[in-house]
Chain A
């Protein structure tokens, strides 16, 4: 499966470029425009990332994650989930930048190519900042009663997180 991911990237870029060329799009102009937007969006998340990485770095240096992991390990070990991942899973629905900061601290401790690093990557990649999305979309039309949106969205997130463990371990 790892190799499939490796091939997907160049093949995908090739297809997009050929498709764009065939459609007579000015592909390089489009690329530049998009890459510029990438810089802009990175700049817009930079302040949050800086603040949260400082805080996560402090938490990690203080021994907080070790304490939490020790407390959780009897439960998580039975479920076959590395307990280091739990803080990220809890942060994920609330803050994208926060969960990326924790993901980065997992990468530093275990390397991104380790099993824990992969599970954490898949978890972060297959779930969304649920509470933020719900707040933005219902807030935009001034709806305060969200009915069953939160439980349904959280069931989706939970499924993504469980599947992250299963796919990395068994696929």
Chain B
């Protein structure tokens, strides 16, 4: 998919620059882009490592486990196909907490484990409502410190890389609630229809 988008971007920029008479700018932009990318990655690196480091302390000191435990009563309401304390819901809680704390590397394997546990109790070739709810929660996940955005803002010379924090919390909470409500409604509709 991304391969096609990349190809599309390069082809389109060639033809656009021919139309707008910008071919010279285009030629410069290619080398400039490559150079810019590495500078960007370097100036993002410090902020990214700061947060993966801090969140590792949270993880190792049991904060992740505590949050996962607090989350479990909510999760068994959202995913009624699975019992509280089941392997599946434990993996789900661990994945969502990891996403929340921005432990991206840990979150994906935990999420895959959760899906595999959930499949054990689902013999159909279509996912049950709880599995869909889990994936929707992942696509609308909240992150306590959006470190990549902060790093990117810092790299671009922002005076306040974290000024967007509260807006992101509010917007992603709204997105999460919208995702939960629409998944529940679609689920009810599928059952009846």
CB-nearest residue of chain B to A12: B145
Interface size on B, residues (CB 8 A): 103
Q: Which of B125-154 contact A (CB under 8 A)?
A: 125-127, 131-132, 134-136, 138-141, 143-146, 148-149, 152-153
A147 neighbours in B (Cβ, 8 Å) = 126-127, 132, 186, 190
Does B175 make an interface contact (CB < 8 A)?
A: yes
- In Å, the complex CA distance between A125 and B143 comes to 8
Over the window 30-47 of chain A, the binary record of Cβ atoms lying under 8 Å from chain B Cβ atoms (1 yes, 0 no) is: 111111111111100010
Q: Which of A47-78 contact B (CB under 8 A)?
A: 48-64, 66-67
Given A54-B30, A128-B141, A152-B183, answer yes or no on A98-B2 (Cβ-Cβ < 8 Å). yes
CB-nearest residue of chain B to A55: B9
Given A38-B49, A111-B156, A131-B1, answer yes or no on A9-B60 (Cβ-Cβ < 8 Å). no
Task: Name the contact of B52 in the complex, choosing from A26, A34, A52 (C-beta under 8 A).
Answer: A34
A137 neighbours in B (Cβ, 8 Å) = 111-112, 115, 134-135, 138
Over the window 44-73 of chain B, the binary record of Cβ atoms lying under 8 Å from chain A Cβ atoms (1 yes, 0 no) is: 110011111111111111110000000000
Determine if B167 and A164 form an interchain contact, defined as CB atoms under 8 angstroms apart. Answer: yes
User: Whole-angstrom distance from the CB of A103 to the nearest CB of chain B?
Assistant: 6
How many residue pairs link A and B with beta carbons under 8 A? The number is 349
B60 neighbours in A (Cβ, 8 Å) = 20, 25-26, 30, 33
Task: Name the contact of B179 in the complex, choosing from A5, A13, A155 (C-beta under 8 A).
Answer: A155
Task: Name the contact of B54 in the complex, choosing from A31, A66, A153 (C-beta under 8 A).
Answer: A31
User: Whole-angstrom distance from the CB of B58 to the nearest CB of chain A?
Assistant: 5
Determine if A35 and B167 form an interchain contact, defined as CB atoms under 8 angstroms apart. Answer: no
Over the window 61-101 of chain B, the binary record of Cβ atoms lying under 8 Å from chain A Cβ atoms (1 yes, 0 no) is: 11100000000000000000000000000000000000000
Determine if A113 and B41 form an interchain contact, defined as CB atoms under 8 angstroms apart. Answer: no
- In Å, the complex CA distance between A123 and B174 comes to 12
Chain B contact residues: over half helix, strand or loop, or mixed?
helix
- In Å, the complex CA distance between A66 and B22 comes to 12
Chain A contact residues: over half helix, strand or loop, or mixed?
helix
Name 14 interchain pairs, CB-CB below 8 A, sorted by A: A12-B145, A16-B54, A30-B60, A31-B57, A37-B105, A55-B33, A67-B16, A117-B153, A121-B152, A125-B164, A128-B140, A131-B1, A145-B127, A171-B166
Determine if A51 and B170 form an interchain contact, defined as CB atoms under 8 angstroms apart. Answer: no
Given A35-B49, A146-B127, A147-B127, answer yes or no on A62-B162 (Cβ-Cβ < 8 Å). no
Q: Which of A67-99 contact B (CB under 8 A)?
A: 67, 91, 94-95, 98
User: Whole-angstrom distance from the CB of A58 to the nearest CB of chain B?
Assistant: 4
B157 neighbours in A (Cβ, 8 Å) = 111-112
A146 neighbours in B (Cβ, 8 Å) = 127, 132, 135
Determine if B125 and A157 form an interchain contact, defined as CB atoms under 8 angstroms apart. Answer: no
B140 neighbours in A (Cβ, 8 Å) = 127-128, 153, 156-157, 160
CB-nearest residue of chain B to A135: B1
Determine if B16 and A63 form an interchain contact, defined as CB atoms under 8 angstroms apart. Answer: yes
A138 neighbours in B (Cβ, 8 Å) = 115, 127, 135
